Amino acid sequence: MFYLIGLGLGDIKDITVKGLEIVKQCSRVYLEMYTSILGCSLEDMQEFYGRPLLLADRDLVEQGADEILAGAGETDVALLVVGDPFGATTHTDFILRAKEKNIPYKVIHNASIMNAIGCCGLQLYKFGETVSIPYWDETWKPDSFYDKIKLNRLHNMHTLCLLDIKVKEPTLESLMRKRKEYMPPRFMSVAEAAQQLLTIVEKKDALERNTVLNEQSLCVGLARVGQDTQQIVVSTLHGMRATDLGGPLHSLIIPAKEMHPLEVEFLQQYAANIKLDDYNH
C-alpha cells in the first residue's frame, strides 16, 4: 500500500492518530519538505515517530516518483507531506502513477494553509481563486497573478496569496556546467510580496488604482500559521512592505472591498493603527 500522509502546519504532534499509526508500520517512510516546511527538525521528527525518515528532495519528488513507489505493491510505503497531501499539485501525480502501476493507495488528510487561513477571521467561503507570487529576478518579472487578484476584487472576494519558496534551487552557473550546486534557501516575506504588488500597481492607470488596488488598500500578513509563534498583522499595502513578521512561512491576503461586520470586528484586533470601518466600502 502507498500512503500519502498530511502532517498539518505546526509541529510533529499535528499528524493525525491514523497517520502516526501508519508511519510506525511502514517499511519505508519518505519526508517531502520542498513544497513547504514544518517548524521542527528532522531529528525531532524521527525521535517522535520512533523510526528513520528518508528525505525526498525536489529532484526525487519530481523525477524519482518510481523510486518512491517501488515495492509499494507488496509492502507499505508512505510519503509525508507538510499540510494536506493535495495542497500541491506535485502530489496528485503520485496518485496517478500508483493507479497506473495498480498499486493500492490511501490518503490521510490534514490541515493546510488553504483552510487554516480562516484564523484571521475572514470567512473561507468568500475567498476567490488562490494565487502564487513568485520571486522576481533581473530578467523575469511575471505579473499574471495580479489579474487574478483584480478579478477577485471585482467580484468582492478575498485573495489568498501563497508566497514563493526556493529550496534546493540550482544556480545558473551549475546548470551551465552540468554540476549541481544550489542556492541558499529563500522564503518570500509579506514585505517582499507587498513590494512586488506595489511595483505592479504603480504601472496601472489612475482609474484602475482607484477601483482595484492601490497603496492604501488593506492587506493581511500572516506568518507561521498553526505554530506557537503565529503572527497576524493588518496593514495597508504600503505599510506591509515595511512589516517584519520574522521567519517563514508567510502568506498574504488581499481582502474583498466589502467585508462582513464580523470579519471587520475580528480583523480589527490585528490592525494597530487602522480603523477598519473606514476601509470597508
Residue 113 assigned as binding residue: yes
Burial (CB count within 10 angstroms: exposed 0-12, middle 13-18, buried 19+), residue 67 = exposed
- Are 121 and 259 spatial neighbours (Cβ–Cβ below 8 Å)? no
Residue 246 assigned as binding residue: no
Cell numbers for 246: 520574522
Q: What is the longest distance spanned by two Cα atoms in the chain?
A: 63
Backbone phi, psi, residue 133, to 5°: -105, 110
Residue 201 assigned as binding residue: no
Residue 112 assigned as binding residue: yes
Distance CA 33, CA 13 (A): 16
Q: Which residues contact 45 (CB under 8 A, 6 or more apart)?
A: 12, 31, 38, 53
Residue 217 assigned as binding residue: no
Residues forming beta bridges with residue 81, ordered by sequence position: 6, 32
Closest CA relative to residue 232, chosen from 267, 259, 263: 267
Sequence letter at residue 70: A
Distance CA 141, CA 208 (A): 20
Residue 87 assigned as binding residue: yes
To 10 degrees, the CA torsion angle through 146, 149, 153, 155?
A: 120
Residue 225 assigned as binding residue: yes
Point out the annotated binding site: 9, 84, 87, 112-113, 163, 225, 250
Point out the annotated binding site for S-adenosyl-L-methionine: 9, 84, 87, 112-113, 163, 225, 250
